[in-house]
Amino acid sequence: MKVFWFIPTHGDSRYLGTSEGARQLSFDYVKQVAIAADSLGYEGVLIPTGRSCEDPWVIASSLMPVTKRLKFLVAVRPGLHQPSLAARMAASFDRLSGGRLLINLVTGGDQAELEGDGVFLDHATRYEQSAEFIKIWREILARSHDGQSLDYDGKHLQVKGAKLLFPPLQKPYPPVYFGGSSAAAHDLAAEQVDAYLTWGEPPAEVAKKLADVRAKAERHGRKLQYGIRLHVIVRETDEEAWADAERLISRVQDETVVQAQAAFARMDSEGQRRMAQLHAGGAKRSRKDLEISPNLWAGVGLVRGGAGTALVGSAQTVADRIKEYADLGIDTFVLSGYPHLEEAYRFAELVFPLLPVNVQEKLAGGSPLGPFGPFGETVANLYSPGRERVAEKVSEPLRVSQS
């Protein structure tokens, strides 16, 4: 199981949809979040893309020297990037970071944003272009290890003699992640990418999507990895977690929700449409209505585009829900929480010990002391608390309640 965190380059706050409790987006802040994720043992971080965000390649490059093991899931954008240039960017970053690059193929679903960036293709054509883009990108990088060039004459993209003189560290190329809910997206994923990502829908709906992608991939003789993008609100008790979920949207005004939902409705993204259905386009407001599956809460999507659901509950409750998704074949969990700095610590401290990873060693952050601490404040100037207990935890199996 791989657990990723999120770099909030579109802003961060204690309350959604308002400036109250908001934080200034600065390099110092995103650096704090990245260092926290790195030292806590997260596999990597997703860096979002779009006009509401700082540029993901600039951000990732700036965070490379202040982190040690953290991987960066960074977007390439067909129509904005050319595949040869994107391949050179990827190879450079991968070499300089010591093989810590992951690629997020983003086709885009906001027509107004795309047109502002000079992309005027409809939904179907964008996916055709994306398929050609990532095929060229993959081939250029794969051939670079043997010094070969590529000629490609497609419907939307063409290259002649495309070549990389300096190959990436990862072979044949940095892994490609991709998310999409339409039939065209599933086709592209099955044929071209390494890992398919879904937003956090109820497990039964996720199972249907994964089954479709898996069947299509098998027809191409391929096997993919699968991941899910979720927010998390985890506390020591279920009651505390639900109280904080309600508090997260307690300052948002009705007109803000209406404006946000109107903007989302204009998008041609199937995934965004499915997210909106979970809260009926903003009509659902109560906890009863917004809990669309056990401990899966659609409140984030009232004002946030993209991933709009959160797992809410105690550490054991959230671990149980994560295992339900893992049982479907999900092995990568891309998570976030508000505010992202504190929640990175909270999730790692509460939930990591319940997941099937060598968590205590990760929490040690590469310390030569390994999984044996020190953890916590020294007691009475005599001993570090929990040393024997920590040693026992390292060998414990995944604990999942039977309730």
pLDDT at 221: 97
Q: Beta strands 291-293 and 296-297: pairing type?
A: antiparallel
pLDDT at 370: 46
User: Is the distance from CB of 384 to CB of 373 less than 8 angstroms?
Assistant: yes
- Computed over every residue of the chain, the mean pLDDT equals 87
What confidence tier does 372 reach under pLDDT thresholds 50, 70, 90? very low
CA distance 165 to 225: 30
pLDDT at 301: 87
Section 152-176 average pLDDT: 97
Instruction: Give the SS3 label for residue 382.
Output: coil
Q: Tell me which of 118-127, 212-221, 222-231 is least confident.
A: 118-127
User: Is the distance from CB of 347 to CB of 321 less than 8 angstroms?
Assistant: no
Section 79-89 average pLDDT: 94
CATH homologous superfamily for the domain 2-76+175-357: Luciferase-like domain (3.20.20.30)
Structure tokens of 23?
A: 């934080």
Residue 397 clears pLDDT 70, i.e. is over it: no
Q: Which residues of 364-386 are buried (b: 16+ CB within 10 A; e: fewer)?
A: beeeeeebbbebeeeeeeeeeeb
The rounded percent of the chain whose pLDDT value lies above 90 is 65
CA distance 183 to 317: 33
pLDDT at 376: 74
Section 318-347 average pLDDT: 96
The rounded percent of the chain whose pLDDT value lies above 70 is 84
pTM above 0.85, yes or no: yes
- The DSSP bridge partners found for residue 141 are none
User: Is the distance from CB of 4 to CB of 34 less than 8 angstroms?
Assistant: no
pLDDT per residue as tens digits for the range 250-283: 998 888 888 877 776 776 666 566 766 666 655 6
Measure the CA angle with vertex 131, ends 129 and 134; round to 5°: 105
Alpha helices by DSSP H, 105-156: 111-116, 123-144
User: Is the distance from CB of 313 to CB of 244 less than 8 angstroms?
Assistant: no
* Domain coordinates in residue numbering, the chain: 2-76+175-357, 360-403
Structure tokens of 28?
A: 């110092």
CA distance 339 to 318: 18
Residue 385 clears pLDDT 60, i.e. is over it: yes
Which class for 238: exposed (0-12), middle (13-18), buried (19 or more C-beta within 10 A)? middle
Structure tokens of 294?
A: 């056990």
pLDDT at 138: 97
pLDDT at 164: 96
User: Is the distance from CB of 398 to CB of 357 less than 8 angstroms?
Assistant: no
- At which residue do the structure tokens 């391929």 appear? 222
